[in-house]
Chains A and B, each alone.
Chain A
Amino acid sequence: MAVALETETLTAAVPGGARRTGARLELAVRILGPLALLALILGGWELLVRVNEIPPYILPGPVAVLQSLVDDWQSLYPSLLVTLRITFLALAVAVIGGVGLAILFSLSRWIEMSLFPLAVILQVTPVVSIAPLILIYVDNITLALLICAWIVAFFPILSNTTLGLASADHNLRDLFELYGASRWQQLVHLRLPSALPYFLGGLRIAGGLSLIGAIVAEFAAGTGGTGSGLAFRILEAGWRLEIPRMFAALLLISMAGILIFLAFTALQHLLLRRWHASATARER
């Protein structure tokens, strides 16, 4: 008797153009909706400032903020780079440390039970309150900032990856055991791929947090000079009552945060789109 191929097709057929039109409309709403709202808020803000003739040192309008961004680009841009450098260094260390520690946890219950509470303590203590201490004990400012940013960024990666490594399918684990897989093979071929979606979720959170950590630490450090980041530019502008510049620096921080988030969202989509339920369209 022949083994006949099942007749199911790979994907359900799309019923005509109706769905495509719907998708296009949804995309338009998703992009245009927030943009329209943003334009409305900015326009209202500008109008409010102009009609009431509010001076820029009290509340600058969006136009004045943009003007300041252009005028002060020479000092803001290097500061942006400084902050981003700390952010990404901290994130890189958080990824290496978080994933490394999570793998260690998955190999040994003892290590997990001993170290996890410490990680939680680090996580729940606000970085604002630890930063001054770190700045006292660590001479190198950059290193101190890095440690602060790392403290906030590493926990979501550690906890998510730990959860992911432990969530490998039990039957698959049995299967690996049946075929005599080594611990290393189990880690590489089963546990790490199982943990990937969890890790990427943690990474997305950690990306934003490492930026926050870097900014908070810069505030606590409050140092000037050539190597100072955006937080110091905000402090500096505040002392000089250059309010538009404060807004301009704030704008840069927000933009950096948004770009980091978008970049990791794109990475997540890229890595998971073929197989994970979170990244694949649901047929309805």
Chain B
Amino acid sequence: MSPAVAEPVEHRAPAGEGEEAAGAAGPLFALRDIGKTFANGTVALDGLDFTVGRHAFVSLLGPSGCGKSTVLRLIAGLTRPSRGRLVWHRQIARGDIGFVFQEPTLMPWATVFDNVRLPLRLQGRGRQEVREEVERALAMVGLEEFAGAYPRELSGGMKMRASIARALVTRPRLLLMDEPFAALDEITRFKLNNELLDLWARENWTVVFVTHSVYESVYLSQRILVMASRPGRITAEIPIDAPYPRDEAFRLSPAYTEACRRVSAELRRAMGE
């Protein structure tokens, strides 16, 4: 089955400032004055305050060690804030959040099928019962032919697809992605960027995407939050108003170049240059 989208994708409302950034569909969650201090005294995050709207595509952009990953872990509930609150505007259940790590993080002893099945298996659902769900997720990332392969038999890009399929198998409402394409070559990264946008447009997820690439964040996002380090904080919030679907033509457009220039300037400022 080809997961191609034939019909035109509806134009999404451009993001505004502050609460309005939540967009037309209303807010999904908000971080309220969140701070995180690690046990060794390192202040990882300080005064984080932003809202993410339903069906939004938001990127966190910043240098290494600025706490981007910690923000994702906070949202996923894998770590608790030392200060402030995480407010959910919609009821969130287990399986509503999908997480994609920088590494594919697959279980090497299990086939692609069993790796993708893992979240459903942990919910106590049987192999036959979830077959369709797993096959649907594999089809979404174009891996249906490789269900029986082991991770070591796959290329880097295919491993990442499997990892994404695993995050999608529970039909999440929120997808948290921690530099998922950073280790891939550029051509594969561009391809997966496009596929991610296609799926996002079809499936109506909310995506919070962590990256250190200005170009990737501009290409993908409706809104970019630029972060500075020590302590991790948000120094700028930049809406990217270009309409979707975005494709290679967008990469060559003056609007793209202009946005990259602005975001780069903000990133340099955040890094204290």
A contact residues vs B (CB 8 Å cutoff) = 1-6, 8, 10-11, 169, 171-172, 174-181, 185, 189-190, 193, 196, 274-277, 280
- List the B side residues contacting A275 at CB < 8 Å: 108-110, 150-152
Interface of chain A: mostly helix, strand, loop or mixed = loop
Are A3 and B141 in touch, CB under 8 angstroms?
yes
Are B150 and A274 in touch, CB under 8 angstroms?
yes
Are A185 and B122 in touch, CB under 8 angstroms?
yes
State the 7 A-B residue pairs at the shortest beta-carbon distance, nearest first.
Answer: A2-B4, A3-B142, A171-B105, A8-B155, A179-B122, A275-B108, A193-B109
Question: Is B90 an interface position by the 8 A CB rule?
Answer: no
Are B103 and A176 in touch, CB under 8 angstroms?
no
Are B152 and A277 in touch, CB under 8 angstroms?
yes
The count of chain B contact residues (Cβ–Cβ below 8 Å) is 46
- List the A side residues contacting B110 at CB < 8 Å: 193, 275
- List the B side residues contacting A3 at CB < 8 Å: 2-4, 140-142, 195, 198
Tell me the nearest residue of chain A to B156, going by C-beta: A8
Tell me the nearest residue of chain B to A181, going by C-beta: B122
Tell me the nearest residue of chain A to B76, going by C-beta: A178
- List the B side residues contacting A277 at CB < 8 Å: 152
User: A189 to chain B: closest CB distance in Å?
Assistant: 7
- List the A side residues contacting B189 at CB < 8 Å: none
Are B99 and A178 in touch, CB under 8 angstroms?
yes
Tell me the nearest residue of chain B to A10, going by C-beta: B153
Interface of chain B: mostly helix, strand, loop or mixed = loop
Q: How many Å lie between the Cα of A2 and that of B198 in the bound state?
A: 9
Question: Is B121 an interface position by the 8 A CB rule?
Answer: yes
- List the B side residues contacting A179 at CB < 8 Å: 94-95, 118-119, 122-123, 170
Given contacts A3-B141, A275-B151, contact A178 B97 (CB under 8 A): yes
Q: Which of A3, A174, A175, A196 has the most CB of B within 10 A?
A: A3
Can you spell out 10 A-B residue pairs with CB atoms less than 8 angstroms apart?
A: A1-B5, A3-B3, A3-B4, A4-B191, A6-B191, A8-B158, A171-B101, A174-B73, A178-B97, A275-B109
A-B contact count (CB 8 A): 92
User: B126 to chain A: closest CB distance in Å?
Assistant: 14
Question: Is B264 an interface position by the 8 A CB rule?
Answer: no
Q: How many Å lie between the Cα of A164 and that of B5 in the bound state?
A: 45
Binary flags per residue of B97-123, CB closer than 8 Å to A gives 1, else 0: 101010101011110000000110111
User: B4 to chain A: closest CB distance in Å?
Assistant: 4
Tell me the nearest residue of chain B to A172, going by C-beta: B105
Q: How many Å lie between the Cα of A177 and that of B97 in the bound state?
A: 12
Question: Is B77 an interface position by the 8 A CB rule?
Answer: yes
Question: Is B247 an interface position by the 8 A CB rule?
Answer: yes
- List the A side residues contacting B95 at CB < 8 Å: 179
Given contacts A1-B4, A3-B198, contact A276 B76 (CB under 8 A): no
Given contacts A10-B149, A185-B122, contact A190 B107 (CB under 8 A): yes
User: B43 to chain A: closest CB distance in Å?
Assistant: 22
Q: How many Å lie between the Cα of A144 and that of B121 in the bound state?
A: 46
Q: How many Å lie between the Cα of A8 and that of B97 in the bound state?
A: 31
User: B99 to chain A: closest CB distance in Å?
Assistant: 6
- List the B side residues contacting A185 at CB < 8 Å: 122
User: B197 to chain A: closest CB distance in Å?
Assistant: 8
Tell me the nearest residue of chain B to A280, going by C-beta: B152
User: B136 to chain A: closest CB distance in Å?
Assistant: 13
Are A4 and B142 in touch, CB under 8 angstroms?
yes
Are B105 and A175 in touch, CB under 8 angstroms?
yes
Question: Is B157 an interface position by the 8 A CB rule?
Answer: yes
User: B210 to chain A: closest CB distance in Å?
Assistant: 14
Are A169 and B158 in touch, CB under 8 angstroms?
no
- List the B side residues contacting A178 at CB < 8 Å: 76-78, 94, 97, 99
User: A35 to chain B: closest CB distance in Å?
Assistant: 34
- List the B side residues contacting A8 at CB < 8 Å: 155, 157-158
Tell me the nearest residue of chain B to A5, going by C-beta: B142
- List the B side residues contacting A190 at CB < 8 Å: 107
- List the A side residues contacting B78 at CB < 8 Å: 174, 177-178
Question: Is B64 an interface position by the 8 A CB rule?
Answer: no
- List the B side residues contacting A280 at CB < 8 Å: 152
Are B194 and A1 in touch, CB under 8 angstroms?
yes
- List the B side residues contacting A171 at CB < 8 Å: 101, 103, 105
Are B99 and A196 in touch, CB under 8 angstroms?
no
Tell me the nearest residue of chain A to B153, going by C-beta: A10
